A = this chain, B = another copy of it.
């Protein structure tokens, strides 16, 4: 029986935003794929960053660029429908034997749309390859020239919105080691207030739009007077709370 070649789904990490922070390997894979999907959000610019990053690093002549709209929602039925639709679109190309790339801001292994999509595509029997990249955790820590772990500290990456909503964020922040809070979404303002309340400002670094032209970093007393524009941009905000000196 003639086995038709299936295409490979490359989940390609683009790094935090600056095109120069893509890896040599990611650029090479993207040069090779003629069809490149990238996630964006209806009505907002935030998730088009992967596409912008791409444009700064890869020759896009003769490429087919396909934006995939993901709603920023927690409604599981809407999410599942969106992912199902995106997966079907990808599978059309893969079934025709075409390799495709799906972009992911930061690193694809950490809270990424592309990673979730890759699991669906893989479950349908198609080959999936993850191309790693600079995570927003690494990028934010480096922007502040911070050692996340020192010699022997643990580092906890916490989904801010989920932990705040569940009421477990405060206890997690009080535990030993460095904490990195991502995905603050609706609760960015509440989380900043909690950090101030817990007297953690002096150990807190907040990085917004890391590696991009409008990157901003805040620490210490600056947390007390953040501009209002700050709170409308939770998607691209990483909060690092360093370990206590004595740890």
Contact = CB atoms under 8 A, between A and B. Distances in A.
A57 B27 CA distance: 14
A132 B132 contact: no
Contacts of A149: 109-111, 157, 159
A148 B18 contact: no
A12 to B, nearest CB: 10
A221 B135 CA distance: 31
Copies in the complex: 2
Interface stretch (A112-120, A190-198, A229-237): A112-120
Name the residue in A19, A21, A115, A134 with the highest tally of chain B Cβ atoms < 10 Å from its Cβ: A134
A205 B142 CA distance: 27
Contacts of A151: 111, 116, 159, 162
Contacts of A110: 138, 141, 148-149, 155
A130 interface: yes
B155 A156 contact: yes
A152 interface: yes
Interface residues of A, number: 58
A126 to B, nearest CB: 12
A50 B216 CA distance: 31
B21 A21 contact: no
Nearest to A116: B147
A41 interface: no
Given A13-B142, A24-B21, A159-B154, A112 B57 contact: no
A105 B81 CA distance: 41
Interface of A: 11, 13, 15-16, 18-25, 27-28, 57, 107-112, 115-116, 118-119, 122, 128-135, 137-139, 141-143, 145-149, 151-159, 162-163, 172, 183
